[in-house]
Structure 1
Amino acid sequence: MTDYYLGADLGGTKTHIMISDQSGNVIGFGESGTGNHEMVGYEGMCENLTSAAHQAFTSAGIKPVNISGSGFGVAGFDWPNQKKPVMGVINTLDLGGRLELVNDTVLGILAGSLRGWGIAVVSGTGCNCWGWDKTRSRIGRVTGGGAVFGENAGASELLFRATSILAKAWTTAGPPTTLTDVFCRRFGVATPEALLQGLLCGEFKMHPSDALLVFETAKKGDPVTIDLIRWVGRELGEMACAVIRQLKFEDSDFDLVQIGSMFDGSPLIMEEMKLVILQSAPHAHFIRLQEHPVIGAVLLGMEAAHYCAGPDVRKLLTESSPIRRPFR
């Protein structure tokens, strides 16, 4: 009898569900919108999960009860009091077998590190950092609360800081920057005053994709923007160092997996992050995640069912995945 495993990655921009057999052959896949309840509420989370699951089970040709083990990585699952409502949504799928639930950042460790433990750092729309020790008996983490909690290393936080820089350049509290002209063109205004008025009064709104404009400006040599990007790298490094201290990894050889599109924006981010981390943990091994995190979710589902997936299973999961590589 064939065993089947389900992995679900409910992220800030999309929901991925993948179903495989015990050999790692992917037989079903579904994709839908954001799975983060903080963005769409639990009702929206449920709708997107249901849609992706329907696609996955339809393509797999099996039923939820046929699943032996499931792994779920959920963005916005940061605190114990969120487990009950999150599980309430997941339980609507009526899955068979055992289930494991983690924050979606943890999936990066499983997908990116052959060791199955270490630290994952996310820098995409937002930012996060979680880690497991070698025995997985200890967890290290930051709050996942973004700028409100001093975690300033995603596109949203980058643009928040960029807005402050634009304002200070206009008031002369800070140095001039070509970012001003870049964002004036972005919003179709002629003056910095009109730009700031639009941003302050809600006429204009920064989108995470506007981070690309910041990266392009830095590539052209604007010193203020270069400093801004280096600042993001240092912020990521400090987040990782916090988790390193929690797990007492200072003298350990461990994998640190980087996840998210911000790492592709500028090599300065990685450069600054490494400088900070290696001062605290000189034996850290840096891995840029190439696989989609949902593969880590399938591996987590296999673990939940006490199935030991070897290298051949991982290899086939990657090769049979319907999602285009590399992951960014």
Structure 2
Amino acid sequence: MWLLGLDAGGTKTHCVITDDKGSIVAEGFGGAGNYQVCGIEKTKESILKAIDEALNQSVLEKKNICHAVFGMAGADDEMDLDILNPLAHSIMGDVPVDVVNDTWIGLRSGADDNIGIVSICGTGAAHAGRNKKGESLILRNLDYELGNRGGGGDLVSSALHYAFRSNEGTYLKTSLEDEMKKIFKAKTMDDICYIIRNEEMSDEHRYQIPIAVFQTARKRDPVAVMLLEEMGQTLGQYASGVIKRLHLEDEKIPMVLIGSLFKTGEPLFINAYMKEVLQTAPFAYPVFPTKSPVMGAIGLIIDQRKGC
């Protein structure tokens, strides 16, 4: 029995094929897979590339797959599932496939019993949880206007905001100003302004800016420190909201931390997150999964005990 798990995020798509015990026999990668950001055609292209790469590596065909789970950023509500379910079925054909939000495969990758809270902080941010009664909750995890905040995208906006304010003398001086000039290969902030206003800001620029914030914060730049601590605190508030609504305040619960920003291990960021969480749930503790999120998709299939 061969199982297929997929993790489609804002930056990359990861596919694994395993046996029925969860041992990996092949894997493949594709590009961005959040259709809300990159569009449905790009999402399909990324998924197909990742799956085809894994199938070719394993010398298997789709018909050999018993069951698949797609964990997808952007699978936030019924409106999204009405788009993504047909996409998944068109890709997998007759193979049974479940589409779930990527928070759920993230939680399963870090909690074998699938109980706890998961916070994702990568390109974007998302939060969900499940209690011992089997009750689950996921936040909307959409955009700023609809209550969400956090992730690399927000860090890009904030870092640029304060770099320009530093340049104009309307807030604290920050070395982020010089870092932006390096990233954009610009002599002045006016040059950067021109690049942004002419929509010439590239994906590479967006990738480099959060890295610069973390590096600058480690040098104790006050603005960069503020940005990381503020984001950690904000994400902790979202996680605390999930804890309260699932009535987990008095339990020893794992906080499963997923995504590139949590992977940095930066204490300024993670300590601010946990400080906020511990005010609500004093027995909560952080978990950094040793397995990649895509293995949570495989775990969900095994949990269902579906045979061919």
| Fold shared per TM-score above 0.5 | yes
Q: 1:182 to 1:134 in 2, by over 3 A?
A: same
- % identical equivalent positions: 29
2:140 corresponding residue in structure 1: 143
1:246 corresponding residue in structure 2: 245
Residue 68 (1) aligns with residue 69 (2) = no
| Counterpart mapping for 1:12-161 below 5 A | 12-94=10-92, 98-136=96-134, 138-161=135-158
Q: 1:195 to 1:6 in 2, by over 3 A?
A: closer
2:219 corresponding residue in structure 1: 220
Tell me the TM-score normalised to structure 2 length: 0.90
1:179 corresponding residue in structure 2: 176
- Deviation string, structure 1 residues 6-37 (Cα, Å, up to 9, x no partner): 21111122222212222333223222222211
**Native 8 Å contact 2:141 2:148 kept in 1:** yes
**Native 8 Å contact 2:109 2:293 kept in 1:** yes
Q: 1:181 to 1:63 in 2, by over 3 A?
A: closer
Residue 209 (1) aligns with residue 199 (2) = no
Deviates more, 1:23-32 or 1:120-129: 23-32
Q: Deviation of residue 251 (structure 1)?
A: 1.4
- Deviation string, structure 1 residues 199-251 (Cα, Å, up to 9, x no partner): 34434454133211111111222112211111111111111112112212111
Consecutive unaligned residues in structure 1, runs of 5 or more: 308-328
1:11 corresponding residue in structure 2: 9
Deviates more, 1:23-32 or 1:83-92: 23-32
Consecutive unaligned residues in structure 2, runs of 5 or more: none
**Native 8 Å contact 1:118 1:255 kept in 2:** yes
Letter in 2 for 1:32: G
Give, in whole Å, the separation in 2 of the partners of 1:208 and 1:234.
22
Q: For 2:4, what is the secondary structure of its paired residue?
A: strand
Q: 1:63 to 1:214 in 2, by over 3 A?
A: same
**Native 8 Å contact 1:143 1:149 kept in 2:** yes
Letter in 2 for 1:253: K
- Deviation string, structure 1 residues 68-104 (Cα, Å, up to 9, x no partner): 3222201111011111221111112345564332111
Q: 1:213 to 1:265 in 2, by over 3 A?
A: farther
**Native 8 Å contact 1:175 1:224 kept in 2:** yes
- Deviation string, structure 1 residues 156-206 (Cα, Å, up to 9, x no partner): 101111122123223433222121122123223333344344434434454
* RMSD of aligned residue pairs (Cα, Å): 2.1
- Deviation string, structure 1 residues 27-48 (Cα, Å, up to 9, x no partner): 2322222221123322222222
Deviates more, 1:121-130 or 1:295-304: 295-304
- Deviation string, structure 1 residues 264-288 (Cα, Å, up to 9, x no partner): 0622000100100000011112101
